């Protein structure tokens, strides 16, 4: 048993426990420090993760846990996201009346869940890791317990999440029953014989339901807008980036490591889900006035784009997903940072409260605009190249199955629709003038630094994607495609 492979997760968990404990003795006025410490700690772990290199897959806990380039990629991804979200939480801390220390801790625990999920090589571990994430998010979502919206979001997320979990458990049961194992390696070994077994397929479908809920894919996307809107902003950010990425990595692992044959049989399903998700998210976002809710819908649409890569069932598609997620990370976090800071001034995320932002804070305005532009998939930002790779991957498959071309068309329609509302945000930010009462917004140094980091990330990925693409390509080599 090679426990040392889990060093990163262990570090995060220890950090979480440490924060929890330190919080007990820390005086009120130094709370801010706690957040910075947590962020710095995560950052440190992130840096440390670069000391680890995994030339080939290594296993621990009886092949339940795997450490391979894909896992490492996502661990770093989550660590990065975690560091930024923690910084964001510090910014948000005055709006959480109680237990900010616990907030950081739970974020860290959720983070560790995501990191475990990245390494999951067994359905049981998948389930447990996902539940850790989910339960942590139940708490994070309803953390503003004096805010009815936050509580409501928590309840909604909890009920639907538990529903999805139930399906997932049932699915795991069925898979276990037919393949007689929950380990991916074993499933892959017997998949040839069981892939025609309807019970096995049913199991896979139920597991997909559970994951579909996590990434907010159609038809399990209903929760996203409400929860995005109601949750505290850092939670939303982490939900948008971390939870979605965790769902995606598990989806990829299960589909392409455990049951690749089934994945290639089910392309039509994936195509339909991806297409409908894109359309649904974009169409619903059109008339949206609440920016967080809009981003909720947009996250549905982006789940659809990510599913493009899944639907392609190819190395190119998977690597495109990884790249896309990386771009999405910077973009969404930048957007939520701005929202978080602006909402600190006015407790309202209606788009109208962003009017004249350019005059109140040019940096925030530019950041939000850049984020929107990147989300819309316009060069030179990361979103463009990600979409480019995804579309390329899908078109690549078009020769085998014409349905892919329809999917491409749908994706295009989605992109065009999305332009409308993304640019609507940009318009509000720049076209209008601030109402007289609104003062200019000050941005603290760490946040400024963070924003710069996000912008640099977006630009770097958009302008010099070579390294990231290579990284993604190396990471997806683990799949059996």
CB neighbours of 257 closer than 8 A, spacing ≥ 6?
Answer: 121, 184, 188, 478, 479, 480
Q: Does 6 bind another protein (CB under 8 A)?
A: yes
Give min distance, CB of 247 to another protein, in A.
16
Give min distance, CB of 293 to another protein, in A.
7
Binding segment for another protein (CB under 8 A), chosen from 208-216, 252-260, 339-347, 444-452, is 208-216
297-326 footprint of another protein as x/- string (CB under 8 A)? ----------------------x-------
Can you give the C-alpha Rg of the chain in angstroms? 21
Structure tokens at 101: 């220390």
Interface residues for another protein in 69-108 (CB under 8 A)?
97-99, 102, 105-106
Among 11, 187, 209, 351, binds another protein (CB under 8 A): 209
List residues bridging with 120 in a β-sheet: 65
Q: Does 44 bind another protein (CB under 8 A)?
A: no
Give min distance, CB of 50 to another protein, in A.
21
Q: Which is nearer to another protein, 209 or 332 (CB)?
A: 209
Distance, CA of 198 to CA of 195 (rounded, Å) = 8
Binding segment for another protein (CB under 8 A), chosen from 36-44, 243-251, 281-289, 437-445, is 281-289
Among 44, 57, 60, 190, binds another protein (CB under 8 A): 60
Count CA within 13 A, CB hemisphere, residue 331. Answer: 32
Rounded to 5 degrees, what are φ and ψ at 397? Answer: -85, -10
Structure tokens at 456: 């640099």
Rounded to 5 degrees, what are φ and ψ at 296? Answer: -60, -50
CB neighbours of 72 closer than 8 A, spacing ≥ 6?
Answer: 49, 52, 54, 475
Q: Does 384 bind another protein (CB under 8 A)?
A: yes
Among 199, 346, 442, 456, binds another protein (CB under 8 A): 199
Q: Which is nearer to another protein, 95 or 149 (CB)?
A: 149
Q: Which is nearer to another protein, 47 or 293 (CB)?
A: 293
Structure tokens at 430: 């720049």
Q: Does 166 bind another protein (CB under 8 A)?
A: yes
Distance, CA of 308 to CA of 404 (rounded, Å) = 9
Among 8, 11, 13, 241, binds another protein (CB under 8 A): 13
Give min distance, CB of 314 to another protein, in A.
11
Alpha helix (H) residue ranges in 26-122: 31-49, 69-92, 100-119
Give min distance, CB of 98 to another protein, in A.
4
Q: Which is nearer to another protein, 47 or 367 (CB)?
A: 367
Contact 339, 349 (CB under 8 A): yes
405-424 footprint of another protein as x/- string (CB under 8 A)? ---x---x--xxx-xx--x-
Considering only CA atoms, which of 375, 255, 364 is closest in space to residue 310? 255
Contact 285, 343 (CB under 8 A): no
Q: Does 395 bind another protein (CB under 8 A)?
A: yes
């Amino acid at each position: 048993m090679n426990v040392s492979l889990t060093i990163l997760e262990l570090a995060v968990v220890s950090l979480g426990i440490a924060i929890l404990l330190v919080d007990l003795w820390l005086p009120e006025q130094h709370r801010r420090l706690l957040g910075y410490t947590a962020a710095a700690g995560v950052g440190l772990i992130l840096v440390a993760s670069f000391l680890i290199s995994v030339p080939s897959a290594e296993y621990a806990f009886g092949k339940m846990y795997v450490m391979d380039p894909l896992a490492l990629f996502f661990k770093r991804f989550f660590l990065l996201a975690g560091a930024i979200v923690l910084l964001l939480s510090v910014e948000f801390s005055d709006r959480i009346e109680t237990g900010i220390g616990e907030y950081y801790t739970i974020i860290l625990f959720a983070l560790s869940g995501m990191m475990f999920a990245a390494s999951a090589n067994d359905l049981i571990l998948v389930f447990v890791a996902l539940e850790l994430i989910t339960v942590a998010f139940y708490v994070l979502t309803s953390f503003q317990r004096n805010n009815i919206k936050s509580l409501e979001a928590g309840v909604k997320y909890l009920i639907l999440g538990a529903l999805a979990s139930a399906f997932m458990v049932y699915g795991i049961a069925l898979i276990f029953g037919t393949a007689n194992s929950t380990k991916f390696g074993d499933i892959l070994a017997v998949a040839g014989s069981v892939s025609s077994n309807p019970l096995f397929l049913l199991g896979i479908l139920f597991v997909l339901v559970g994951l579909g809920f996590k990434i907010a894919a159609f038809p399990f996307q209903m929760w996203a807008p409400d929860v995005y809107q109601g949750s505290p902003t850092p939670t939303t950010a982490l939900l948008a980036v971390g939870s979605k990425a965790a769902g995606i990595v598990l989806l990829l692992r299960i589909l392409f490591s455990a049951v690749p044959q089934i994945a290639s049989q089910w392309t039509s399903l994936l195509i339909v889900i991806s297409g409908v998700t894109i359309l649904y998210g974009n169409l619903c976002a059109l008339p949206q006035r609440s920016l967080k809710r809009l981003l909720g819908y947009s996250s549905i649409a982006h789940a659809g784009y990510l599913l493009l890569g899944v639907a392609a069932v190819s190395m190119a598609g998977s690597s495109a997903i990884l790249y896309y997620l990386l771009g999405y990370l910077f973009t969404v976090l930048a957007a939520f940072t701005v929202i978080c800071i602006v909402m600190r001034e006015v407790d309202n995320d209606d788009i109208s409260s962003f009017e004249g932002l350019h005059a109140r804070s040019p940096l925030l305005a530019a950041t939000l605009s850049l984020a929107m532009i990147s989300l819309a998939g316009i060069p030179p930002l990361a979103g463009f190249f990600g979409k480019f790779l995804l579309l390329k991957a899908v078109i690549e498959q078009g020769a085998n199955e014409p349905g892919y071309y329809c999917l491409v068309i749908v994706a295009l329609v989605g992109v065009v629709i999305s332009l409308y509302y993304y640019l609507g945000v940009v318009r509000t930010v720049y076209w209008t003038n601030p109402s007289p009462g609104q003062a200019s917004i000050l941005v603290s140094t760490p946040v400024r630094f963070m924003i710069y980091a996000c912008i640099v990330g977006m630009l770097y990925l958009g302008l010099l994607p070579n390294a990231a693409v290579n990284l993604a390509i190396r990471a997806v080599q683990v799949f059996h495609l």
